[in-house]
Structure 1
Amino acid sequence: MKSFNIPDYYRSTIVSPLKELRRKRDKLKRDFSPTLLDFGPVQILLARHFGFCYGVENAIEIAYKAISENPKKRIFLLSEMIHNPEVNGDLLSRGVRFLMDTAGRQLVPWEELTQDDIVIIPAFGTTLETQQKLSAIGLDVERYNTTCPFVEKVWNKANQIGQKAYTVVVHGKPTHEETRATFSHSKEAAPTVVVKDLAQAQRLAKYITGELPREQFFQEFNGQYSEGFDPARDLQRIGVVNQTTMLASDTQGIADYLKQVMIQTYTLLPDEVERRFANTRDTLCYATNDNQDATYELLTNKADFAIVAGGYNSSNTSHIVELCEEKLPTYFIESEQKILTPTLIRHFDLHQREEVVTENYLPTHEPATILLTCGASCPDAVVEGILLKLVSFFPNARSLATVMTDIQQSYSA
């Protein structure tokens, strides 16, 4: 796989070598078991796959290249480069400005831009409408376009099934930058509707079967369907694609459900299914799949709690948090700075949508066992900081050098 030139301070002298060691031992990615770091009184199980993916490293490389190549020009990002505060904060400190926030609200008026400015397209991609505005100003929208190739893969799939007269059903968070971009591209090729979860897919099914009146659709799916959408006409042939960072099991569940609805509604035989339901296969990115599979394997191990690191508005990270919360106490943190003391941790509550402080999170028994992972937009350096902070609370812990030697020997045996 291509290697990218990203700032060294995003790397880790601990985590990155462990990843490389596991990669060399398992080039086909068949082993999803975690890496055990046994410090004696505390044991940390590190997920097999986590952290910067291809698309994120590609985006970071292009963004820093834009900064170095244009020292005297104004540089703008459409919105956050990726959903990680460390990376976005560093770019802002270098003079980069955001044109919009993550919800698409304008921060810098289009009228302030000139053709001499530099605009970076984030990894999530952007809408065709925004591209057209930038082009009208005279800006080169492709020069520093960091759109993830796996996002573009979804756009291509939507276009392909649209050309075959299917309506595109997008499984994604309606307000997420990537879903907004995918919706924009998809609606150029086909009628398009967004569903955020299985419950909303089940509501959509009632318009497929005719159980609910056509007029109610427009209120229920307000802001989630393309112009001119007619549920009576456009839900007769459908195909499902997704925001690349959704839970694979959720997307598959929605696709399987809608497929069965079409089979029952139109009494389809096995060889007739594709007349009504497009074969889109999985459009999740490889990193999302790997990270989720590694999390499932991580959770087969007994532990006292899990820590998941990443940006609080990161979709792929929040899904990992959801998986962990089903099994054990889970703390979603941005960095080691949220680990306040051995008895206090500040973390993000997905349900309340705010940070909370939990007391006495560390167990009183030894060895304490902690699961540790992060999202696809989280630097290895952040995971290292969390690991070292946790170990520092155990004065009798074995040295890092000893632990690393043990791991290297165990994987070379």
Structure 2
Amino acid sequence: MKTFNVPVIYRSPLITAIKNSRKQLDRMKKDFTPTVLDFGPLKVLLARHFGFCFGVENAIEIAFRTLDENPDKRIFLLSEMIHNPHVNNDLLARGVQFIMDTAGKQLVPWESLNPEDIVIIPAFGTTLEIEAKLTSLGIAPLQYNTTCPFVERVWNKAEQIGQQSYTVIVHGKPGHEETRATFSHSTSSTPTVVVKDMAEAQLLATFITGEKPAAEFYELFKGQYSPGFDVVKDLQRVGVVNQTTMLATETQAIADYIRNVMMDRYALTAATAGEHFADARDTLCYATNDNQSAVTGLLQEEADLAIVVGGYNSSNTSHLVELCEERLPTFFISSDEKLVSANEVEHWDFHHKQELHSFTFLPQKEQVTIMLTSGASCPDALVEAVIRKLLSFYGLEHKIEELAAKFK
């Protein structure tokens, strides 16, 4: 797989050494057991896969290269390039301006842009409407495009099944930049509806089966269906694609559920299911799969607590937190600075969108075992910083260099 020129500030000698060692031992990525870092009173179970994915590294390389090559031009990002505050703040510090926030609220008026400006499309991609807007301003919309190739693969699959007269069901968060972009691209070729979870998929199924009157659909799914959507006609042939950062198991469960609904509704067999349901399972992102599978492997071990590092508005990171929370106390932090002391931690409650300050953190015992992972937009340098901070609570910071040497 291609390697990227990512700024050294995001790299970690320790994490790089560990990842390279695991890669040599497990080239086919079949082993999801964690890497054990035993420091005596502290044991860290490091997930097999975590941190920057292909799409994120691609976006970072393009963005920083664009800055280096255009020192005298105004450079804008449509919105946050990735959902990590450290990377986005670094770009802001270099003079980049965000045109919109993550919810789509305008921060820089379109009319203030001119053809000499550079506009970078973030890793989530953008809508066809925004591409058209940039074109109307004399700005080539795809000249500085960091859209993740795996997001584009979802768009391609949506177009492909749309051309076969299937309606696209997008499993995603309706307000997320990636889902908004996927919805726009899909809508250009076929009727499209967004479901955020299994509950909404089950609700949608009641319109497929006719259990609910069609008129109710337009209120229950307001803002989540394409213009002119005909709930009777457009739910007869469907396929499911996803926002790439959703829980892969949930996307698959939704696809399997909708497929079974269609089979029952039209008395289909496994051989004839394709008459009303398109198989689009190959849109699941490899990194999302790997990171979530690594957490599943991590959770087979015994530990006192879990720490997940990443941006608080990162969808893929929140799903890792969700998996860990099912098994043990979990702390979602954005950086090592949130580890105040052995007894205090500031962490994000993504269910209620608030930061909590807890005064119960590391247990008082002979050896504390911590599971550690991070989201796909989190620099490895932050993960190493978290390990260093944890070690500082035990006076063991010097152990980092000894550990790195073992993996070289």
Same fold by TM-score, threshold 0.5 exceeded? yes
1:286 aligns with 2:260: no
1:260 aligns with 2:260: yes
Q: Indicate the residue corresponding to 2:27 in structure 1.
A: 27
Q: Equivalences for 1:245-324 in 2 at 5 Å?
A: 245-324=245-324
Unpaired runs of at least 5, structure 1:
409-413
Residue deviations 1:327-348, cap 9 Å, x none?
A: 0000000000001111100000
Q: CA deviation at 1:397?
A: 7.5
Cα distance in 2, alignment partners of residues 83 and 322 from structure 1: 17
Residue deviations 1:123-167, cap 9 Å, x none?
A: 000000000000111112222100000000000000000000000
Q: Indicate the residue corresponding to 2:152 in structure 1.
A: 152
CA contact (8 A) 2:14 2:403 kept: no
Q: Indicate the residue corresponding to 2:119 in structure 1.
A: 119
Residue deviations 1:77-117, cap 9 Å, x none?
A: 00000000000000000100000000111111110000000
CA contact (8 A) 1:82 1:124 kept: yes
Q: Indicate the residue corresponding to 1:71 in structure 2.
A: 71
Q: Indicate the residue corresponding to 1:6 in structure 2.
A: 6
Q: Equivalences for 1:160-309 in 2 at 5 Å?
A: 160-309=160-309
CA contact (8 A) 1:40 1:398 kept: no
* Secondary structure of the corresponding residue to residue 233 of structure 2: helix
Cα distance in 1, alignment partners of residues 364 and 396 from structure 2: 14
Residue deviations 1:248-280, cap 9 Å, x none?
A: 110011011111111111111222110000111
Q: CA deviation at 1:20?
A: 1.1
Q: Indicate the residue corresponding to 1:61 in structure 2.
A: 61
* Secondary structure of the corresponding residue to residue 103 of structure 2: coil
Q: CA deviation at 1:69?
A: 1.1
Q: Indicate the residue corresponding to 2:356 in structure 1.
A: 356
Which amino acid is 2:260 matched to? Q
1:374 aligns with 2:363: no
Residue deviations 1:352-401, cap 9 Å, x none?
A: 21000111210100210001100000000000100000011113677233
Root-mean-square deviation (CA, aligned residues, Å) is 1.1
* Secondary structure of the corresponding residue to residue 107 of structure 1: coil
Which amino acid is 1:151 matched to? V
CA contact (8 A) 1:287 1:376 kept: yes
Cα distance in 1, alignment partners of residues 210 and 161 from structure 2: 23
Residue deviations 1:223-246, cap 9 Å, x none?
A: 000000011010000000000011
Which amino acid is 2:194 matched to? V
CA contact (8 A) 2:167 2:237 kept: yes
| Change beyond 3 A, Cα 1:407–1:65 | closer
Does 396-405 or 268-277 show the bigger shift? 396-405
Q: CA deviation at 1:405?
A: 4.4
TM norm structure 1:
0.97
Q: Indicate the residue corresponding to 2:365 in structure 1.
A: 365
1:101 aligns with 2:101: yes
| Change beyond 3 A, Cα 1:396–1:318 | closer
Q: Indicate the residue corresponding to 1:390 in structure 2.
A: 390
Cα distance in 2, alignment partners of residues 352 and 166 from structure 1: 36
Cα distance in 2, alignment partners of residues 371 and 21 from structure 1: 19
Q: Indicate the residue corresponding to 1:411 in structure 2.
A: none
Shift >2 Å, 4+ stretches: 395-408
Which amino acid is 1:328 matched to? L
Residue deviations 1:54-75, cap 9 Å, x none?
A: 0000000000011111111110
* Secondary structure of the corresponding residue to residue 357 of structure 1: strand
Which amino acid is 1:391 matched to? L
Cα distance in 2, alignment partners of residues 185 and 324 from structure 1: 34
Q: How many residues align?
A: 408
Q: Percent identical across equivalent pairs?
A: 61
* Secondary structure of the corresponding residue to residue 358 of structure 2: strand
Q: Indicate the residue corresponding to 2:403 in structure 1.
A: 403
Q: CA deviation at 1:407?
A: 5.1
Does 319-328 or 136-145 show the bigger shift? 136-145
Q: CA deviation at 1:323?
A: 0.1
Cα distance in 2, alignment partners of residues 73 and 301 from structure 1: 52
| Change beyond 3 A, Cα 1:298–1:226 | same
Which amino acid is 1:242 matched to? N
CA contact (8 A) 2:43 2:368 kept: yes
Does 236-245 or 27-36 show the bigger shift? 27-36
Residue deviations 1:21-58, cap 9 Å, x none?
A: 11122111111111111111100011110000100000
Cα distance in 2, alignment partners of residues 112 and 25 from structure 1: 53
| Change beyond 3 A, Cα 1:24–1:275 | same
TM norm structure 2:
0.98
CA contact (8 A) 2:35 2:47 kept: yes
CA contact (8 A) 1:114 1:137 kept: yes
CA contact (8 A) 1:41 1:396 kept: no
